[in-house]
Homo-oligomer: A and B are copies of this chain.
């Protein structure tokens, strides 16, 4: 896999998140204690000699990266697992080096004295199967871009279809290997919320609490199925994609950049775009009225965001992860759930709007389960679940004390 990577600085994914976080600095500020020592972490790799998917296909030599924060107690019952979102990685908190430009994406709520208090909890985050960011050297994943041991070449589109629960099953093996006896909680955003729910269905006696953030509930919606298809379409339209066989001929970078531009706008909101970019030219010396190619600030910024985010992304892994999201549906398995739920939708979310989480909570309560909902207010869109999570600090803290 290394041979197909353009090696980059360790902080490429973090920098991209910092870019799309423009305008969210204030939203993140309140929860960070002024004098807290920075959380430091390191990336490790978990391996399984083989893994058989829920679809019945066996994948050899499965590897996923992971990091931990805090310490597991003697009973092995103070662990919190944090699965990541679609374009994310296991870098949920902390820094690898003090000089890192940015900390993990939920650093504002994970750390000593923070809502997910590493003085009390042992926090684990792991890369999914088919993680998008194969060219981020801090990510380890097994997916279509991985070398198939049987052929010596990348799987490409011959990789088996995987579901979100396949990543969860691999992560369960990781968590077991670390000596965890029970998860105190699972908390993930977006694609991570899908994994959070899968944990409670697959291992009902192993998970006490679930916090799905910006979640579609117990199944992906037909709307999100279509959005994911839209997110994938520009990659498949790029001739360089070549039905997934591009590892020797050059990656479909234009398609990936356009795909991630779509992701960026879809996961935002009109309020945020207006506030952040306004109605002005990208270049004051090139008014959009004067030439068809002269652009506005908002379109220019989103184009650049797509290009920036494409740097670490593998096209096929992106496609397989979209499919995994589309397959999420545990509506018929909800009765198995034993965990207490706290849904944290974002008010301005145009991907998984709050009504979806509310409907799921209602269904769970109808089945005699415990399910609360707290709406993160703001106009940042879907990404408020990642970037404005500090607004839910108190409710997370209270839920973890329940």
- Footprint of B on A, CB under 8 Å? 55, 157, 161, 163, 219-230, 233-234, 237-239, 254-255, 258, 261-262, 265, 269-270, 273-274, 277-279, 288-292, 295-299, 302-303, 319-320, 323, 326-327, 329, 350, 353
Residue among A237, A292, A329 having the largest count of chain B Cβ atoms under 10 Å = A292
Pick 19 A–B contacts, CB within 8 A, sort by A.
A55-B290, A161-B289, A161-B291, A219-B279, A220-B279, A222-B270, A222-B273, A222-B274, A222-B296, A223-B273, A223-B298, A225-B298, A230-B262, A234-B258, A237-B238, A237-B255, A239-B239, A288-B323, A296-B326
- In chain B, what residue has the closest Cβ to A163? B289
On whether A323 and B237 interact (CB within 8 A), knowing A222-B274, A226-B298, A279-B219, the answer reads no
On whether A258 and B274 interact (CB within 8 A), knowing A161-B289, A161-B291, A298-B222, the answer reads no
Contacting residues, chain B, for A274 (C-beta < 8 A): 221-223
| A319 pairs with B292, CB closer than 8 A | yes
Copies of this chain, whole number:
2
> Which residue from B163, B229, B296 sits with its C-beta under 8 Å from A225?
B296
* C-alpha spacing A274/B355, complex, angstroms: 13
**Additional pairs, 17, CB under 8 Å, beyond known A226-B273, A288-B327:** A55-B290, A161-B289, A161-B292, A221-B270, A221-B279, A222-B277, A222-B297, A225-B298, A226-B302, A228-B299, A229-B303, A230-B302, A237-B254, A237-B258, A239-B239, A279-B329, A299-B326
Contacting residues, chain B, for A320 (C-beta < 8 A): 292
